[in-house]
Structure 1
């Protein structure tokens, strides 16, 4: 009887986990680690109903019950903690500047942790069989602070306060002798927000979704500039395979100036 029931029990456990019934969001700012279940977050007095007109992941207007991220993280007494690392269940890792979150209290974009209620589940994401829940970092008025498309990690499982990527991983920083207005400096910033959620640079980073773009060979070594631009704008126009995940970055998601800056950054990092 045990042998018969064991597979059934395992199936039930996996299904429960998939529905987020036992899922918790981990928050670590320093030595202390907190865990919040969906029920606990939805019960908070600051939980509110918000509407996102052009949701990055769902590509349409979405309404959520959510908790303000700024209130959830509270004060961060350590000045070295200037970045919030948001890790998703699939290995996607956004590096969110604390300053960007703090702008929400001063008229900028407002960050929220949307929470999926088991009694009212969200629809599946376009082209997928899972929703963005149980926890999803979303932004009200993203245009106010120029919030990039890669700062919307769905299925978020952990938020960790840390140093900014160039301080944590010096090998990803451009040469200190570059002029302040060198495009590669802007490119480093764009790479941090738009590329590091999936890629690493010479081992720098926390994501494992895409390949390292600095080692063993920089893409500027084997792709032409036009080919690299085309790959970023529409990956499937250059090469395709069944498990391809990289999205297309149109001009709205990545303006031409930012795209040129990213390529300048990759070029600058190639010989280092």
Structure 2
């Protein structure tokens, strides 16, 4: 018994103090990576992010190219990035593997030198944070900068996993509602469910019991998406605003068309 206890203490002593773990599951065997081993990889480097999405200022990180951690992933794969607070970002693997100039990095927090608290929050973005260099080249949106990252996993496409979210299959391929469903996946799905389906746990369901198009005038709903605090202000609000550089007027029109359409396709929670 004493020998087993001494072995356990020796094992604990060998672990890096404050080391964090990231789980990656691409469908061919899950693996767990520790922050200490990631920070000392040969391809780890210090990068500068001039306009950091989470911190809203320039930041510097120790980081690893994200695609180097996704061996076996293909451009057709669908990835989900799960944060410890319930945020679940849906990102096509193609964007990570070839962002047409945009490059994804996994930033790794040093437990001995933790990152500062996020604006308006008590915690920082660590222990892991997906950041991008030249994000504009790939059309990367703010929801694709997940922080407090805990896991990355390969999943089926959203419509296959959550059929109650899908618009009427009879709609034309190029319809605004179908385009709006794509926008919903990029902008809203990281925080919200719809018809009780989805993995995120941060925001309310956007169709049951009521769809926002049923209780907000179209102009007020547009204003809310652009700047939530301008319409409804409270200190604990988490929803960011989406300006025209992130969400074009055409895409906002399509998103609202999708939501109005889904108001007539309610399913139980």
Q: Tell me the TM-score normalized by structure 1.
A: 0.86
What CA distance in whole angstroms lies between the structure 1 residues aligned with 2:236 and 2:59? 27
CA distance in 2, matches of 1:223, 1:138: 34
Cα offset, 1:233, TM superposition: 1.3
Structure 1 match to 2:147: 154
Task: Point out the more displaced range, 160-169 or 231-240.
Answer: 231-240
- In the TM superposition, residue 119 of structure 1 has moved relative to its aligned partner by 3.3
2: CA distance between counterparts of 1:87 and 1:223?
A: 30
Q: Cα RMSD between the aligned structures?
A: 1.7
Distance in 2, matches of 1:103 and 1:170, equals 29
SS in 1 for 2:98: helix
Per the alignment, residue 112 of structure 1 pairs with: 105
Q: Which digits, 9 at most, give the CA deviation of each residue in 1:52-85, with x for residues without a partner?
A: 11111111221111111111011137x9x72111
1:171 to 148, 164, 167: 164
- Judge conservation of contact 1:97–1:164 (CA < 8 Å) in 2: no
Choose the corresponding residue for 1:91, options 77, 86, 94: 86
How far the C-alpha of 1:204 sits from its partner, in A, is: 2.3
Q: Separation in 2 of the partners of 1:158 and 1:228?
A: 33
Q: In structure 2, do the counterparts of structure 1 residues 91 and 257 end up closer, same or farther at CA, with 3 Å as the change threshold?
A: same
Quote the residue 2:10 is aligned against: none
Partner of 1:230: 223
SS for the counterpart of 1:248 is: coil
Alpha-carbon distance in structure 2 between the residues aligned to 1:161 and 1:220: 32
Residue 238 (structure 2) aligns with = 245
The 3-state SS of whatever aligns with 1:94 is strand
Larger displacement relative to structure 2 (173-182 or 82-91): 173-182
In structure 2, runs of 5+ residues without a counterpart are 1-16
Q: 1:268: which partner in 2?
A: 261
Structure 1 segments, 4+ long, off by >4 Å, are none
CA distance in 1, matches of 2:106, 2:156: 21
2:17 is the alignment partner of 1:24:
no
Q: Displacement of 1:39 after TM fit? A: 0.3
